A and B are shown apart, each in its own frame.
Chain A
Amino acid sequence: MSNAIIISPADDVAVAIEPIAAGEAVDYGPAQAEAFCAREDIPIYHKVAVRDLAAGQKICKYGEHIGEALYDIARGSHVHVHNVGSVREDLDNK
Protein backbone atom coordinates (compact mmCIF):
# COMPACT_ATOMS: atom_id res chain seq x y z
CA MET A 1 0.00 0.00 0.00
CA SER A 2 1.49 3.36 -1.06
CA ASN A 3 2.07 6.02 1.56
CA ALA A 4 3.00 8.79 -0.90
CA ILE A 5 2.10 10.06 -4.37
CA ILE A 6 4.23 11.59 -7.11
CA ILE A 7 2.35 13.94 -9.41
CA SER A 8 4.62 14.23 -12.44
CA PRO A 9 7.39 11.75 -13.40
CA ALA A 10 9.87 14.67 -13.49
CA ASP A 11 9.16 15.65 -9.88
CA ASP A 12 11.93 15.77 -7.26
CA VAL A 13 9.45 15.31 -4.44
CA ALA A 14 6.63 12.94 -3.52
CA VAL A 15 3.74 13.94 -1.24
CA ALA A 16 2.93 11.84 1.83
CA ILE A 17 -0.69 10.66 1.79
CA GLU A 18 -0.39 9.43 5.35
CA PRO A 19 2.12 10.33 8.08
CA ILE A 20 5.47 8.63 7.36
CA ALA A 21 7.75 7.99 10.34
CA ALA A 22 11.55 8.38 10.21
CA GLY A 23 13.06 5.08 9.01
CA GLU A 24 9.86 3.93 7.32
CA ALA A 25 10.02 3.01 3.61
CA VAL A 26 8.62 5.67 1.26
CA ASP A 27 6.31 4.04 -1.31
CA TYR A 28 4.83 6.09 -4.11
CA GLY A 29 3.78 3.23 -6.32
CA PRO A 30 4.70 2.04 -9.80
CA ALA A 31 6.63 5.23 -10.69
CA GLN A 32 9.23 4.45 -7.99
CA ALA A 33 12.49 2.92 -9.28
CA GLU A 34 14.41 2.34 -6.03
CA ALA A 35 13.41 1.65 -2.45
CA PHE A 36 14.43 4.25 0.15
CA CYS A 37 13.40 5.29 3.63
CA ALA A 38 12.29 8.57 5.18
CA ARG A 39 15.22 10.20 6.99
CA GLU A 40 12.85 12.06 9.28
CA ASP A 41 9.13 12.20 10.07
CA ILE A 42 7.06 13.38 7.08
CA PRO A 43 3.65 14.79 8.10
CA ILE A 44 0.63 13.94 5.92
CA TYR A 45 0.50 16.01 2.66
CA HIS A 46 4.09 17.22 3.20
CA LYS A 47 6.87 16.56 0.69
CA VAL A 48 9.73 14.05 0.77
CA ALA A 49 12.77 14.23 -1.57
CA VAL A 50 12.87 11.28 -4.01
CA ARG A 51 16.47 12.04 -5.06
CA ASP A 52 19.45 13.93 -3.67
CA LEU A 53 19.15 17.66 -4.37
CA ALA A 54 22.10 20.08 -4.36
CA ALA A 55 21.96 23.52 -2.74
CA GLY A 56 20.75 26.08 -5.30
CA GLN A 57 19.02 23.46 -7.41
CA LYS A 58 15.47 24.16 -8.58
CA ILE A 59 12.94 21.78 -7.05
CA CYS A 60 10.35 20.24 -9.32
CA LYS A 61 6.73 19.44 -8.38
CA TYR A 62 3.77 19.33 -10.81
CA GLY A 63 6.54 19.15 -13.44
CA GLU A 64 7.37 22.81 -12.65
CA HIS A 65 9.71 24.65 -10.29
CA ILE A 66 8.24 25.34 -6.86
CA GLY A 67 11.43 26.90 -5.44
CA GLU A 68 15.13 26.42 -4.85
CA ALA A 69 17.02 24.16 -2.42
CA LEU A 70 18.62 26.35 0.28
CA TYR A 71 20.94 23.49 1.36
CA ASP A 72 21.87 20.06 0.06
CA ILE A 73 18.80 17.87 0.56
CA ALA A 74 19.28 14.11 0.78
CA ARG A 75 16.77 11.62 -0.60
CA GLY A 76 14.19 10.78 2.05
CA SER A 77 14.38 14.23 3.69
CA HIS A 78 11.40 16.40 4.55
CA VAL A 79 11.24 19.18 1.92
CA HIS A 80 9.58 22.31 3.27
CA VAL A 81 10.10 25.94 4.33
CA HIS A 82 13.26 25.10 6.33
CA ASN A 83 15.20 24.00 3.23
CA VAL A 84 13.35 25.52 0.25
CA GLY A 85 13.25 29.17 -0.85
CA SER A 86 10.71 30.83 -3.10
CA VAL A 87 12.05 32.22 -6.39
CA ARG A 88 9.77 35.14 -7.06
CA GLU A 89 9.35 37.07 -10.23
CA ASP A 90 10.68 40.60 -9.93
CA LEU A 91 7.53 42.63 -10.57
CA ASP A 92 9.24 45.98 -10.99
CA ASN A 93 11.52 44.67 -13.74
CA LYS A 94 8.79 42.89 -15.64
Chain B
Amino acid sequence: MQTFLGYKRPDGRVGIRNHVLILPASVCASDTARIVAGQVEGAVTFNNQNGCSQVAPDQQLTMDVMAGYAANPNVYGTVVISLGCENCQMDLVVEAIRQRTCKPMETFIIQQEGGTLKTIEKAVRAARAMQQEAGLIQREAFPLSELIVGTECGGSDPTSGLAANPLIGELSDRIVDAGGTAILSETTEFIGAEHILARRAATPQVRERILDIVHRYEKALRLVGEEVREGNPSPGNKAGGITTLEEKSLGCIHKGGHRPVMAVYDYAKQIDTRGLVIMDTPGNDPSSVAGMVAGGCQLVVFSTGRGTPTGNPIVPVIKVTGNRQTYAAMLDNMDFDASPVIYEPGCMDRLAGEFLDLAVATANGRKTKAEALGFTEMAIARVCNYV
Protein backbone atom coordinates (compact mmCIF):
# COMPACT_ATOMS: atom_id res chain seq x y z
CA MET B 1 0.00 0.00 0.00
CA GLN B 2 1.37 3.41 -1.02
CA THR B 3 1.83 5.84 1.87
CA PHE B 4 2.87 9.44 2.42
CA LEU B 5 4.58 11.11 5.36
CA GLY B 6 2.28 13.50 7.19
CA TYR B 7 1.66 15.29 10.46
CA LYS B 8 -1.09 13.91 12.70
CA ARG B 9 -3.28 16.66 14.19
CA PRO B 10 -5.14 16.53 17.52
CA ASP B 11 -8.46 16.67 15.63
CA GLY B 12 -7.53 13.43 13.84
CA ARG B 13 -6.71 14.90 10.45
CA VAL B 14 -3.33 14.59 8.70
CA GLY B 15 -1.36 17.49 7.24
CA ILE B 16 1.54 17.55 4.77
CA ARG B 17 2.93 20.91 5.92
CA ASN B 18 3.40 22.19 9.46
CA HIS B 19 2.59 25.89 9.27
CA VAL B 20 1.78 28.44 11.94
CA LEU B 21 -0.96 30.59 10.42
CA ILE B 22 -1.23 34.30 11.22
CA LEU B 23 -4.88 34.87 10.35
CA PRO B 24 -6.15 38.43 9.76
CA ALA B 25 -9.87 38.64 10.54
CA SER B 26 -10.30 41.57 8.17
CA VAL B 27 -8.53 43.83 5.74
CA CYS B 28 -7.75 46.21 8.63
CA ALA B 29 -5.69 43.53 10.39
CA SER B 30 -3.93 42.26 7.28
CA ASP B 31 -0.79 44.39 7.37
CA THR B 32 -0.33 43.75 11.08
CA ALA B 33 -0.60 40.02 10.32
CA ARG B 34 1.94 40.41 7.51
CA ILE B 35 4.46 42.06 9.84
CA VAL B 36 3.94 39.38 12.50
CA ALA B 37 4.43 36.58 9.98
CA GLY B 38 7.59 38.28 8.72
CA GLN B 39 9.08 38.11 12.23
CA VAL B 40 8.53 34.37 12.73
CA GLU B 41 10.41 31.89 10.58
CA GLY B 42 8.01 29.60 8.73
CA ALA B 43 4.84 31.47 9.71
CA VAL B 44 2.36 32.07 6.87
CA THR B 45 -0.37 34.63 6.31
CA PHE B 46 -2.39 36.21 3.52
CA ASN B 47 -3.92 39.53 2.66
CA ASN B 48 -7.57 39.25 3.71
CA GLN B 49 -9.37 41.76 1.54
CA ASN B 50 -12.69 41.04 3.25
CA GLY B 51 -14.02 40.61 6.80
CA CYS B 52 -16.01 43.82 7.00
CA SER B 53 -18.70 45.77 5.11
CA GLN B 54 -20.01 42.62 3.45
CA VAL B 55 -23.56 41.43 2.88
CA ALA B 56 -24.43 38.43 5.06
CA PRO B 57 -23.86 35.71 2.45
CA ASP B 58 -20.48 37.20 1.56
CA GLN B 59 -19.46 37.54 5.20
CA GLN B 60 -20.32 33.85 5.57
CA LEU B 61 -17.94 32.99 2.72
CA THR B 62 -15.19 34.97 4.46
CA MET B 63 -15.90 33.30 7.81
CA ASP B 64 -15.85 29.86 6.20
CA VAL B 65 -12.51 30.55 4.52
CA MET B 66 -10.96 31.83 7.77
CA ALA B 67 -12.26 28.88 9.80
CA GLY B 68 -11.28 26.43 7.08
CA TYR B 69 -7.77 27.81 6.81
CA ALA B 70 -7.23 27.52 10.56
CA ALA B 71 -8.63 23.98 10.48
CA ASN B 72 -6.70 22.89 7.38
CA PRO B 73 -4.47 20.02 8.50
CA ASN B 74 -1.39 21.68 6.96
CA VAL B 75 -1.68 24.21 9.81
CA TYR B 76 -0.22 23.37 13.24
CA GLY B 77 -1.87 26.30 15.00
CA THR B 78 -3.30 29.76 14.35
CA VAL B 79 -2.73 33.27 15.71
CA VAL B 80 -5.85 35.30 14.87
CA ILE B 81 -5.49 39.08 14.66
CA SER B 82 -8.53 41.34 14.34
CA LEU B 83 -8.91 45.09 14.44
CA GLY B 84 -11.84 45.02 16.87
CA CYS B 85 -14.71 46.81 15.13
CA GLU B 86 -14.99 44.71 11.97
CA ASN B 87 -18.10 42.65 11.19
CA CYS B 88 -16.10 39.43 11.50
CA GLN B 89 -15.84 39.88 15.28
CA MET B 90 -13.15 37.89 17.09
CA ASP B 91 -15.67 35.84 19.09
CA LEU B 92 -17.43 34.83 15.87
CA VAL B 93 -14.14 33.88 14.21
CA VAL B 94 -13.04 31.87 17.24
CA GLU B 95 -16.38 30.07 17.38
CA ALA B 96 -16.21 29.23 13.67
CA ILE B 97 -12.68 27.86 14.05
CA ARG B 98 -13.58 25.86 17.16
CA GLN B 99 -16.50 24.25 15.33
CA ARG B 100 -13.94 22.77 12.94
CA THR B 101 -10.85 22.05 15.02
CA CYS B 102 -9.32 21.86 18.52
CA LYS B 103 -5.80 22.85 17.35
CA PRO B 104 -3.72 25.54 19.15
CA MET B 105 -5.06 29.09 18.76
CA GLU B 106 -4.15 32.53 20.16
CA THR B 107 -6.06 35.75 19.55
CA PHE B 108 -5.17 39.47 19.59
CA ILE B 109 -7.48 42.45 19.02
CA ILE B 110 -5.56 45.53 17.84
CA GLN B 111 -7.93 48.11 19.34
CA GLN B 112 -7.78 46.34 22.74
CA GLU B 113 -4.02 45.79 22.72
CA GLY B 114 -3.42 49.51 22.19
CA GLY B 115 -2.42 49.70 18.53
CA THR B 116 -0.44 47.77 16.00
CA LEU B 117 3.01 47.82 17.65
CA LYS B 118 1.79 46.36 20.93
CA THR B 119 -0.24 43.79 19.01
CA ILE B 120 2.75 42.90 16.85
CA GLU B 121 4.98 42.33 19.91
CA LYS B 122 2.48 40.04 21.65
CA ALA B 123 1.48 38.20 18.49
CA VAL B 124 5.10 37.61 17.47
CA ARG B 125 5.85 36.10 20.90
CA ALA B 126 2.76 33.86 20.65
CA ALA B 127 3.53 32.79 17.09
CA ARG B 128 7.17 32.12 17.98
CA ALA B 129 6.16 29.91 20.90
CA MET B 130 3.74 28.05 18.63
CA GLN B 131 6.45 27.59 15.99
CA GLN B 132 8.80 26.11 18.61
CA GLU B 133 6.20 23.53 19.60
CA ALA B 134 5.32 22.80 15.97
CA GLY B 135 8.93 21.71 15.46
CA LEU B 136 8.38 18.73 17.75
CA ILE B 137 5.81 17.08 15.48
CA GLN B 138 7.36 14.23 13.49
CA ARG B 139 6.19 13.03 10.11
CA GLU B 140 4.62 9.55 10.15
CA ALA B 141 3.47 7.24 7.34
CA PHE B 142 -0.22 7.40 6.43
CA PRO B 143 -2.24 5.72 3.66
CA LEU B 144 -3.27 7.80 0.63
CA SER B 145 -6.85 7.55 1.91
CA GLU B 146 -5.96 10.46 4.25
CA LEU B 147 -5.39 12.77 1.28
CA ILE B 148 -7.86 15.32 -0.03
CA VAL B 149 -6.60 16.60 -3.39
CA GLY B 150 -8.05 19.73 -4.97
CA THR B 151 -8.08 20.11 -8.76
CA GLU B 152 -7.96 23.40 -10.63
CA CYS B 153 -7.31 24.72 -14.14
CA GLY B 154 -6.28 28.20 -15.20
CA GLY B 155 -4.70 29.95 -18.15
CA SER B 156 -6.05 27.06 -20.23
CA ASP B 157 -5.28 26.41 -23.90
CA PRO B 158 -6.24 23.52 -26.24
CA THR B 159 -3.65 21.24 -24.61
CA SER B 160 -5.42 21.54 -21.23
CA GLY B 161 -8.40 19.49 -22.39
CA LEU B 162 -6.18 17.09 -24.36
CA ALA B 163 -3.44 16.29 -21.87
CA ALA B 164 -3.19 18.09 -18.53
CA ASN B 165 -6.82 17.73 -17.43
CA PRO B 166 -7.09 14.04 -18.45
CA LEU B 167 -3.82 13.41 -16.55
CA ILE B 168 -5.23 15.13 -13.47
CA GLY B 169 -8.34 12.99 -13.95
CA GLU B 170 -6.18 9.86 -13.80
CA LEU B 171 -4.64 11.15 -10.56
CA SER B 172 -8.13 11.84 -9.17
CA ASP B 173 -9.12 8.25 -9.98
CA ARG B 174 -6.02 6.85 -8.28
CA ILE B 175 -6.55 8.95 -5.15
CA VAL B 176 -10.23 7.93 -5.01
CA ASP B 177 -9.40 4.25 -5.64
CA ALA B 178 -6.93 4.43 -2.72
CA GLY B 179 -9.79 5.58 -0.50
CA GLY B 180 -8.96 9.28 -0.59
CA THR B 181 -10.84 12.31 -1.84
CA ALA B 182 -10.56 14.36 -5.04
CA ILE B 183 -12.34 17.71 -5.43
CA LEU B 184 -13.68 18.94 -8.75
CA SER B 185 -14.13 22.73 -8.57
CA GLU B 186 -15.02 25.76 -10.72
CA THR B 187 -18.80 25.71 -11.18
CA THR B 188 -18.62 28.22 -14.04
CA GLU B 189 -16.68 25.61 -16.01
CA PHE B 190 -19.43 22.98 -15.57
CA ILE B 191 -21.98 25.12 -17.39
CA GLY B 192 -22.90 23.30 -20.60
CA ALA B 193 -21.86 19.90 -19.26
CA GLU B 194 -23.85 19.95 -16.02
CA HIS B 195 -26.26 17.32 -17.35
CA ILE B 196 -23.29 15.03 -18.08
CA LEU B 197 -21.82 15.64 -14.63
CA ALA B 198 -25.25 15.09 -13.11
CA ARG B 199 -25.40 11.61 -14.69
CA ARG B 200 -22.32 10.70 -12.67
CA ALA B 201 -23.97 11.58 -9.35
CA ALA B 202 -24.02 8.72 -6.84
CA THR B 203 -27.56 9.57 -5.65
CA PRO B 204 -30.56 11.57 -6.91
CA GLN B 205 -29.86 14.15 -4.16
CA VAL B 206 -26.32 14.70 -5.42
CA ARG B 207 -27.68 14.97 -8.96
CA GLU B 208 -30.07 17.74 -7.89
CA ARG B 209 -27.30 19.54 -6.02
CA ILE B 210 -25.06 19.55 -9.12
CA LEU B 211 -27.82 21.11 -11.23
CA ASP B 212 -28.69 23.52 -8.41
CA ILE B 213 -25.20 24.98 -7.97
CA VAL B 214 -24.90 25.53 -11.72
CA HIS B 215 -28.26 27.23 -12.01
CA ARG B 216 -27.68 29.26 -8.82
CA TYR B 217 -24.40 30.51 -10.24
CA GLU B 218 -26.00 31.44 -13.55
CA LYS B 219 -28.77 33.33 -11.73
CA ALA B 220 -26.24 35.26 -9.64
CA LEU B 221 -24.35 36.30 -12.76
CA ARG B 222 -27.61 37.26 -14.50
CA LEU B 223 -28.25 39.83 -11.76
CA VAL B 224 -25.41 41.86 -13.22
CA GLY B 225 -26.34 41.10 -16.82
CA GLU B 226 -23.95 38.23 -17.50
CA GLU B 227 -25.20 35.33 -19.62
CA VAL B 228 -22.56 32.62 -19.46
CA ARG B 229 -24.13 30.58 -22.26
CA GLU B 230 -24.03 33.51 -24.67
CA GLY B 231 -20.71 34.19 -26.31
CA ASN B 232 -19.27 30.98 -24.95
CA PRO B 233 -17.20 29.27 -26.28
CA SER B 234 -15.43 32.54 -26.98
CA PRO B 235 -14.09 33.46 -30.42
CA GLY B 236 -10.66 32.56 -29.06
CA ASN B 237 -11.90 29.14 -27.94
CA LYS B 238 -13.41 28.54 -31.39
CA ALA B 239 -10.22 29.59 -33.16
CA GLY B 240 -8.47 27.07 -30.91
CA GLY B 241 -10.79 24.28 -32.11
CA ILE B 242 -13.48 24.26 -29.39
CA THR B 243 -16.88 23.94 -31.12
CA THR B 244 -19.53 23.86 -28.37
CA LEU B 245 -19.94 24.82 -24.72
CA GLU B 246 -20.42 21.12 -23.90
CA GLU B 247 -17.04 20.36 -25.43
CA LYS B 248 -15.33 23.17 -23.52
CA SER B 249 -16.86 22.04 -20.23
CA LEU B 250 -15.98 18.39 -20.86
CA GLY B 251 -12.34 19.35 -21.21
CA CYS B 252 -12.51 21.02 -17.80
CA ILE B 253 -14.48 18.40 -15.87
CA HIS B 254 -12.00 15.74 -17.00
CA LYS B 255 -9.94 16.81 -13.98
CA GLY B 256 -12.36 14.94 -11.75
CA GLY B 257 -11.64 11.62 -13.42
CA HIS B 258 -14.23 8.93 -13.96
CA ARG B 259 -15.60 7.96 -10.55
CA PRO B 260 -19.15 8.72 -9.28
CA VAL B 261 -19.74 12.11 -7.64
CA MET B 262 -20.37 11.35 -3.96
CA ALA B 263 -21.24 14.81 -2.62
CA VAL B 264 -21.50 18.51 -3.48
CA TYR B 265 -20.15 21.15 -1.07
CA ASP B 266 -20.84 24.84 -0.92
CA TYR B 267 -17.83 27.14 -1.10
CA ALA B 268 -15.25 26.60 1.68
CA LYS B 269 -17.36 24.09 3.65
CA GLN B 270 -15.45 21.30 5.39
CA ILE B 271 -15.20 18.16 3.28
CA ASP B 272 -16.14 14.99 5.15
CA THR B 273 -16.86 12.55 2.30
CA ARG B 274 -14.42 10.22 0.58
CA GLY B 275 -14.37 9.68 -3.15
CA LEU B 276 -14.90 12.27 -5.89
CA VAL B 277 -16.70 15.38 -4.61
CA ILE B 278 -17.62 18.74 -6.13
CA MET B 279 -17.16 22.13 -4.52
CA ASP B 280 -19.07 25.18 -5.76
CA THR B 281 -16.23 27.61 -6.51
CA PRO B 282 -15.63 30.39 -9.04
CA GLY B 283 -13.53 29.94 -12.17
CA ASN B 284 -11.15 32.53 -10.69
CA ASP B 285 -8.13 30.45 -9.68
CA PRO B 286 -6.92 31.92 -6.36
CA SER B 287 -10.44 32.07 -4.89
CA SER B 288 -11.34 28.59 -6.16
CA VAL B 289 -8.16 27.15 -4.64
CA ALA B 290 -8.89 29.05 -1.40
CA GLY B 291 -12.34 27.43 -1.19
CA MET B 292 -10.87 23.94 -1.53
CA VAL B 293 -8.09 24.70 0.97
CA ALA B 294 -10.75 25.87 3.43
CA GLY B 295 -12.56 22.60 2.69
CA GLY B 296 -9.52 20.79 4.04
CA CYS B 297 -7.52 19.72 0.99
CA GLN B 298 -3.82 19.33 1.74
CA LEU B 299 -2.65 19.44 -1.90
CA VAL B 300 -3.81 21.08 -5.14
CA VAL B 301 -3.02 19.93 -8.67
CA PHE B 302 -3.41 22.74 -11.17
CA SER B 303 -3.41 22.41 -14.98
CA THR B 304 -2.43 25.28 -17.23
CA GLY B 305 -1.86 25.84 -20.91
CA ARG B 306 -0.32 29.29 -20.96
CA GLY B 307 1.46 28.83 -17.62
CA THR B 308 0.45 30.50 -14.34
CA PRO B 309 2.56 31.16 -11.23
CA THR B 310 -0.04 31.23 -8.42
CA GLY B 311 0.46 29.29 -5.20
CA ASN B 312 -1.32 29.29 -1.85
CA PRO B 313 -0.24 30.25 1.67
CA ILE B 314 -0.74 26.82 3.26
CA VAL B 315 -1.21 24.22 0.53
CA PRO B 316 1.33 23.19 -2.13
CA VAL B 317 0.02 23.78 -5.66
CA ILE B 318 1.48 21.45 -8.33
CA LYS B 319 1.50 23.04 -11.79
CA VAL B 320 1.09 20.72 -14.77
CA THR B 321 0.92 21.69 -18.44
CA GLY B 322 0.27 19.70 -21.62
CA ASN B 323 1.87 22.43 -23.72
CA ARG B 324 5.53 21.51 -24.27
CA GLN B 325 6.41 25.05 -25.36
CA THR B 326 4.93 26.40 -22.13
CA TYR B 327 6.73 23.77 -20.08
CA ALA B 328 10.05 24.85 -21.57
CA ALA B 329 9.32 28.59 -21.47
CA MET B 330 7.83 28.59 -17.95
CA LEU B 331 10.08 25.94 -16.37
CA ASP B 332 10.56 28.23 -13.36
CA ASN B 333 6.84 27.80 -12.61
CA MET B 334 5.91 24.37 -14.05
CA ASP B 335 6.21 21.20 -11.94
CA PHE B 336 5.18 18.53 -14.46
CA ASP B 337 5.19 18.07 -18.23
CA ALA B 338 2.00 16.34 -19.43
CA SER B 339 2.75 16.83 -23.14
CA PRO B 340 3.72 13.15 -23.67
CA VAL B 341 -0.04 12.43 -23.35
CA ILE B 342 -0.34 14.16 -26.73
CA TYR B 343 2.84 13.03 -28.47
CA GLU B 344 3.33 9.49 -27.15
CA PRO B 345 0.12 7.45 -27.63
CA GLY B 346 -0.39 4.90 -24.87
CA CYS B 347 1.81 6.64 -22.28
CA MET B 348 -1.03 7.79 -20.00
CA ASP B 349 -0.71 4.94 -17.52
CA ARG B 350 3.04 5.43 -17.06
CA LEU B 351 2.70 9.20 -16.90
CA ALA B 352 -0.13 9.00 -14.36
CA GLY B 353 2.12 6.83 -12.19
CA GLU B 354 4.91 9.42 -12.39
CA PHE B 355 2.44 12.20 -11.61
CA LEU B 356 1.15 10.32 -8.56
CA ASP B 357 4.77 9.84 -7.45
CA LEU B 358 5.28 13.61 -7.69
CA ALA B 359 2.11 14.21 -5.68
CA VAL B 360 3.31 11.82 -2.97
CA ALA B 361 6.81 13.35 -2.96
CA THR B 362 5.18 16.78 -2.60
CA ALA B 363 3.08 15.45 0.28
CA ASN B 364 6.28 14.10 1.85
CA GLY B 365 7.78 17.58 1.85
CA ARG B 366 9.25 18.21 -1.60
CA LYS B 367 8.53 21.84 -2.39
CA THR B 368 6.56 22.85 -5.48
CA LYS B 369 7.94 25.59 -7.71
CA ALA B 370 5.36 28.02 -6.29
CA GLU B 371 6.35 27.12 -2.72
CA ALA B 372 10.06 27.46 -3.42
CA LEU B 373 9.37 30.90 -4.90
CA GLY B 374 7.30 31.83 -1.83
CA PHE B 375 4.11 32.42 -3.80
CA THR B 376 1.05 32.75 -1.54
CA GLU B 377 -1.51 34.69 -3.55
CA MET B 378 -5.15 33.95 -2.75
CA ALA B 379 -8.60 35.50 -2.85
CA ILE B 380 -11.94 34.90 -1.16
CA ALA B 381 -15.03 34.47 -3.32
CA ARG B 382 -17.91 36.93 -2.99
CA VAL B 383 -21.14 37.55 -4.85
CA CYS B 384 -21.88 41.23 -4.11
CA ASN B 385 -20.14 44.59 -3.87
CA TYR B 386 -19.02 45.82 -0.45
CA VAL B 387 -21.66 47.65 1.55
Q: Write the residues of chain A forming the contact surface with B, with a CB cutoff of 8 angstroms.
A: 2, 5, 7, 15-17, 28-31, 43-47, 61-62, 64-67, 79-81, 84-89, 91, 94
Contact = CB atoms under 8 A, between A and B. Distances in A.
A88 B229 contact: yes
Contact of A45 (B158, B195, B246, B345): B158
Contact of A91 (B215, B247, B254): B215
A86 B246 contact: yes
B104 to A, nearest CB: 46
Interface in B211-255: 211, 215, 218, 229, 238, 240-241, 243-247, 250-251, 254
A43 B345 contact: no
Contact of B195 (A61, A62, A89): A89
Which 3 residue pairs across A and B have the least CB separation, nearest first? Answer: A29-B345, A45-B158, A66-B247
B241 A89 contact: no
Interface residues of B, number: 29
B275 interface: no
Contacts of B247: 61-62, 66-67
A79 B158 CA distance: 15
Contact of A62 (B211, B215, B245, B251): B251
Given A88-B192, A91-B215, A94-B211, A30 B345 contact: yes
A45 B243 contact: no
Contacts of A66: 243-244, 246-247, 250
Interface string B15-49: 00000000000000000000000000000000000
Given A47-B243, A84-B243, A64 B162 contact: no
Secondary structure at the B interface, as helix, strand, loop or mixed, is helix
A62 B342 CA distance: 14
A75 to B, nearest CB: 17
Interface string B55-86: 00000000000000000000000000000000
B215 to A, nearest CB: 6
B12 interface: no
Contact of B245 (A65, A86, A91): A86
B166 interface: yes
A43 B243 CA distance: 13
Nearest to A83: B243
A79 B242 CA distance: 10
A79 B241 CA distance: 9
Contacts of A44: 158, 241
Given A61-B250, A80-B241, A91-B215, 20 more contacts: A5-B345, A16-B241, A17-B162, A17-B342, A29-B346, A44-B158, A44-B241, A45-B162, A45-B240, A46-B241, A47-B241, A47-B243, A64-B193, A64-B196, A67-B247, A81-B238, A84-B243, A86-B244, A91-B218, A94-B215
11 contacts: A2-B345, A5-B342, A44-B158, A45-B158, A45-B241, A47-B243, A64-B193, A81-B243, A86-B192, A91-B218, A94-B215
